[in-house]
A and B are shown apart, each in its own frame.
Chain A
């Protein structure tokens, strides 16, 4: 029986979002189940269904005896309204049963702009919005994912956070829960015991103290048995970790409709703006034979038309040529397309792409991130103009005519010359086309360059966590200068420029480096109707400004303020492996424009080697 009536399903947009029944969805006999876990991606179904992390955890939980993991996503505003009017509790897709009766609600935190959607989920489910209000019998609300590396702005809404990779400790947590449930122990007794499992953070057992200027003074656990620093969990034997090859195949078109093969975790490149590059250290590669086996299983079990490799930097995977050859052979007969994101443009990747894509229709992507070499050194983006232009030259010779360029505006120490560099570099690439391809060979007649800029938000656990963020006005001024800079180029007709709105960036900046004081403002904004902030048609900047004012939240304190080297940050009680001394060294090197070589060239002593695994560790052992 579906949770929603026929009348509702026939009245709302895309009812297939809410009915479950996806191929490879797991249905268990409730008689054999002790723990009901609902995994939630707090955004609309099509987005959530494209996320690999949920697939990994869904598969992992459902391999456990006695645990049934189901899924839920944010009801779109049309259904949200109906559910409120008709008091329909939020349900899990597989059983269609109310989440309120579950043991756990797990929420993945992929981006800051989903924070009000967390409250929407809790509210629609009928679960009290804050941990303090919840009672025995309410589900344990647990968060995870990249934003849990600064959980403080949403600390009030969660009973606990799982810091790090889910593969390692969930079994232990589930076993503890089963035991305590059988023994009739209370919610608080469970949370207290859980807080002693490595990687688990129970915010209500920790109290922040503040200085008069609003910065953090101290962050203290309730008693000495609780860890003062919580170390992230990490999978060391990546080949033995469970990986889902029976991935869910939705009826509806998901945003990314394809099977995903994760080839490695972590990144050797130390781009100073990049949070993922630090959070997932050290780099761990999956064995090529494991990948081959998984690729075949994925194709057999899903029937999807496209396979995509997942990693932060695929070109750095050592056995990539062998893997790609294997995939090209296997996919050819099966008519499966291969998608290779995050490839550096060079002779190898161009050769591969010419085999797997239609050159005429596809475009090449470069991510210089900054317009000038000086600024690329500041951000430690190891990509030179020479390399970009050479890559473009080879690509144009190979028949490509479309190039996409990605830049960020508002990175620390950026000057007007750096911004001018965006236009100049775009122009240089167009020039390379006209120099490389003789007139009679220009198939489409011309070259198409699309330059896009996003606004930079400093993130925790990066070298730029100390950096003042730009104001909205500064951002817009930079975008204007970029536009003018491009328009003044000789080849400006070949260059298209895209930029984003700055409002939402400001809010992202507040949350990214926010503290626990923000919880009440997020709650207040939600009560004023803010949901789906990541969607421009629903985002209301004015409501947020008004709410911050009412809650005495100073936006500039979180965004544009200069942070001293020795400031205690709200996320400093977490240990992601990369230590603060290393990040500070990187911050100072950025100020001087000095680059740091990548992990394979020279160890920078970031601290992640302490986990005793991954590439940096293996390399060291080889030397000895």
Chain B
């Protein structure tokens, strides 16, 4: 039985990394006494797939991890409660749903992520970013340099920027490609926008909150990963 867990990671624990988070969930699932499914072999491990890893320093209220269990004797709501009873307040389980047996796991299916981004105190650039968004989004291609295993390469991130808008409170909302192959980080968008305007993004300038994570439905439309699956 495949389960999708939606959770938030906020506050001080944003300074922990993705590997730390994986270990946290392995232990959380054990403490919650779920009837976990393990891989075969001498050192069995829990079958677990996270959507898109969250960077150190980034908070989220829309994270997903898929796990597998052999059986389940609780309802969705009870499972959420059980998990929260053995978690910490900064890592809150928001929802647990049952996925189709044929469903692809979160890591394979993740396509997009929505972010709320603002400049940290004293880190705003001299130019008004909100006034530059239209011009930026009108570009045919936005090339950035990505460092990969095979060295540096040029990538066009434009097709992966689905939405980019300024909110009235001075923050920005971005909807970006978050697939394994084409993930774009908000910082890459801001860096490239400022570079086009002859400015450099300051170090550690962005406060980033991931709002939700998305996958494609049968028709290719992006839907919240939390809308997939059934309550039980």
Q: Which residues in A have some Cβ–Cβ distance to B below 8 Å?
A: 2, 6-7, 9-11, 15-16, 19-21, 23, 249, 251-253, 257, 299-305, 334-335, 337, 358, 361
In the complex, B162 has a CB within 8 A of chain A: no
Cα separation A249 to B86 with both chains bound (whole Å): 12
Cα separation A9 to B12 with both chains bound (whole Å): 10
Chain B stretch 7-35: residues in CB contact (< 8 A) with chain A: 12-13, 15-17, 19-21, 23-24, 26-31, 33
Contacts A15-B56, A335-B44, A358-B42 given; does A253 touch B31 at CB 8 Å: no
Cα separation A15 to B19 with both chains bound (whole Å): 14
| Residue ID in chain A nearest B33 by CB atoms | A300
In the complex, B57 has a CB within 8 A of chain A: yes
Cα separation A358 to B204 with both chains bound (whole Å): 45
Contacts A21-B90, A303-B30 given; does A253 touch B43 at CB 8 Å: no
In the complex, B172 has a CB within 8 A of chain A: no
Pairs across A and B, CB under 8 Å, 17 listed: A10-B56, A15-B15, A15-B56, A16-B15, A16-B17, A16-B20, A19-B15, A23-B86, A23-B87, A252-B16, A253-B23, A257-B23, A300-B31, A300-B33, A302-B27, A337-B43, A358-B43
Which 3 A-B pairs rank lowest in CB-CB distance, beginning with the nearest? Answer: A303-B27, A303-B30, A303-B31
Across-interface contacts of B120 in A (CB, < 8 A): 6
Q: Is the CB of B26 within 8 A of A303?
A: yes
Cα separation A303 to B88 with both chains bound (whole Å): 14
* In the complex, number of A-B residue pairs with CB atoms less than 8 Å apart: 73
| Residue ID in chain A nearest B204 by CB atoms | A10
Across-interface contacts of B28 in A (CB, < 8 A): 303
Cα separation A609 to B203 with both chains bound (whole Å): 64
Across-interface contacts of A301 in B (CB, < 8 A): 31
Across-interface contacts of A337 in B (CB, < 8 A): 43
Across-interface contacts of B43 in A (CB, < 8 A): 337, 358
Of the residues A251, A300, A303, A358, contact of B16 by C-beta under 8 Å: A251
Q: Is the CB of A21 within 8 A of B13?
A: yes
Q: Is the CB of A253 within 8 A of B19?
A: yes
Given A252-B16, A303-B28, 12 more pairs with CB closer than 8 A: A7-B204, A10-B204, A16-B16, A16-B20, A19-B13, A19-B16, A23-B24, A251-B21, A252-B20, A335-B36, A335-B38, A361-B42
Q: Is the CB of B204 within 8 A of A6?
A: yes
Across-interface contacts of B57 in A (CB, < 8 A): 6, 9-10
Give, as a whole number of angstroms, the nearest-CB distance from B178 to chain A. Answer: 22
Give, as a whole number of angstroms, the nearest-CB distance from A348 to chain B. Answer: 21
Q: Is the CB of A11 within 8 A of B16?
A: no
| Residue ID in chain B nearest A18 by CB atoms | B15
Across-interface contacts of B30 in A (CB, < 8 A): 299, 303-305, 334
Give, as a whole number of angstroms, the nearest-CB distance from B7 to chain A. Answer: 15
Q: Is the CB of B12 within 8 A of A20?
A: yes
Cα separation A304 to B56 with both chains bound (whole Å): 23
Give, as a whole number of angstroms, the nearest-CB distance from A291 to chain B. Answer: 20
Of the residues B24, B33, B42, B86, contact of A251 by C-beta under 8 Å: B24
Residue picked from A23, A337, A358, most chain B C-beta under 10 Å? A23
Give, as a whole number of angstroms, the nearest-CB distance from B94 to chain A. Answer: 19
Q: Is the CB of A2 within 8 A of B204?
A: no
Give, as a whole number of angstroms, the nearest-CB distance from A245 to chain B. Answer: 12
Q: Is the CB of B12 within 8 A of A19?
A: yes
Across-interface contacts of A9 in B (CB, < 8 A): 15, 57
Q: Dominant SS at the A interface?
A: loop
Q: Which residues in B have some Cβ–Cβ distance to A below 8 Å?
A: 12-13, 15-17, 19-21, 23-24, 26-31, 33, 36, 38, 42-44, 56-57, 86-88, 90, 120, 203-204
Give, as a whole number of angstroms, the nearest-CB distance from A41 to chain B. Answer: 20
| Residue ID in chain A nearest B26 by CB atoms | A305
| Residue ID in chain B nearest A8 by CB atoms | B204
Cα separation A203 to B13 with both chains bound (whole Å): 42
| Residue ID in chain B nearest A250 by CB atoms | B20
Across-interface contacts of B88 in A (CB, < 8 A): 21, 23
Cα separation A303 to B27 with both chains bound (whole Å): 4
Cα separation A137 to B103 with both chains bound (whole Å): 63
Across-interface contacts of A15 in B (CB, < 8 A): 15, 56
Across-interface contacts of B38 in A (CB, < 8 A): 335
Q: Is the CB of A303 within 8 A of B20?
A: no
Cα separation A10 to B38 with both chains bound (whole Å): 35
Q: Is the CB of B29 within 8 A of A11?
A: no
| Residue ID in chain A nearest B121 by CB atoms | A6
Across-interface contacts of A249 in B (CB, < 8 A): 27
Across-interface contacts of A257 in B (CB, < 8 A): 23
Give, as a whole number of angstroms, the nearest-CB distance from B64 to chain A. Answer: 19
Give, as a whole number of angstroms, the nearest-CB distance from B222 to chain A. Answer: 30
Across-interface contacts of B90 in A (CB, < 8 A): 21
Cα separation A445 to B206 with both chains bound (whole Å): 56
Cα separation A228 to B129 with both chains bound (whole Å): 75
| Residue ID in chain B nearest A17 by CB atoms | B15
Cα separation A114 to B88 with both chains bound (whole Å): 33
| Residue ID in chain B nearest A23 by CB atoms | B88
| Residue ID in chain B nearest A362 by CB atoms | B42
Q: Is the CB of B42 within 8 A of A2?
A: no
Across-interface contacts of B86 in A (CB, < 8 A): 23, 303
Q: Is the CB of B12 within 8 A of A251?
A: no
Cα separation A249 to B12 with both chains bound (whole Å): 16
Give, as a whole number of angstroms, the nearest-CB distance from B63 to chain A. Answer: 15
Across-interface contacts of B21 in A (CB, < 8 A): 251
Give, as a whole number of angstroms, the nearest-CB distance from B69 to chain A. Answer: 13
Across-interface contacts of B16 in A (CB, < 8 A): 16, 19, 251-252
Cα separation A10 to B26 with both chains bound (whole Å): 26
Cα separation A249 to B23 with both chains bound (whole Å): 10
Residue picked from B23, B24, B86, B90, most chain A C-beta under 10 Å? B23
Give, as a whole number of angstroms, the nearest-CB distance from B101 to chain A. Answer: 22
| Residue ID in chain A nearest B27 by CB atoms | A303
Cα separation A249 to B26 with both chains bound (whole Å): 12
Cα separation A249 to B36 with both chains bound (whole Å): 20
Give, as a whole number of angstroms, the nearest-CB distance from B19 to chain A. Answer: 7
| Residue ID in chain A nearest B41 by CB atoms | A358
Across-interface contacts of B56 in A (CB, < 8 A): 10, 15
Cα separation A21 to B36 with both chains bound (whole Å): 26
| Residue ID in chain A nearest B90 by CB atoms | A21
Give, as a whole number of angstroms, the nearest-CB distance from A11 to chain B. Answer: 7
Across-interface contacts of A304 in B (CB, < 8 A): 27, 30
Across-interface contacts of B15 in A (CB, < 8 A): 9-10, 15-16, 19
Across-interface contacts of B24 in A (CB, < 8 A): 23, 251
Across-interface contacts of A299 in B (CB, < 8 A): 30
Give, as a whole number of angstroms, the nearest-CB distance from B174 to chain A. Answer: 20
Cα separation A23 to B33 with both chains bound (whole Å): 16
Cα separation A13 to B185 with both chains bound (whole Å): 21
Across-interface contacts of B12 in A (CB, < 8 A): 2, 19-21
Contacts A7-B204, A21-B88, A303-B86 given; does A251 touch B27 at CB 8 Å: no
Give, as a whole number of angstroms, the nearest-CB distance from A193 to chain B. Answer: 40
Give, as a whole number of angstroms, the nearest-CB distance from B29 to chain A. Answer: 7
Across-interface contacts of B20 in A (CB, < 8 A): 16, 251-253
Cα separation A23 to B19 with both chains bound (whole Å): 16
Cα separation A253 to B23 with both chains bound (whole Å): 8
Across-interface contacts of A16 in B (CB, < 8 A): 15-17, 20
| Residue ID in chain A nearest B36 by CB atoms | A335
| Residue ID in chain A nearest B17 by CB atoms | A16
Cα separation A503 to B21 with both chains bound (whole Å): 40
Across-interface contacts of B33 in A (CB, < 8 A): 300
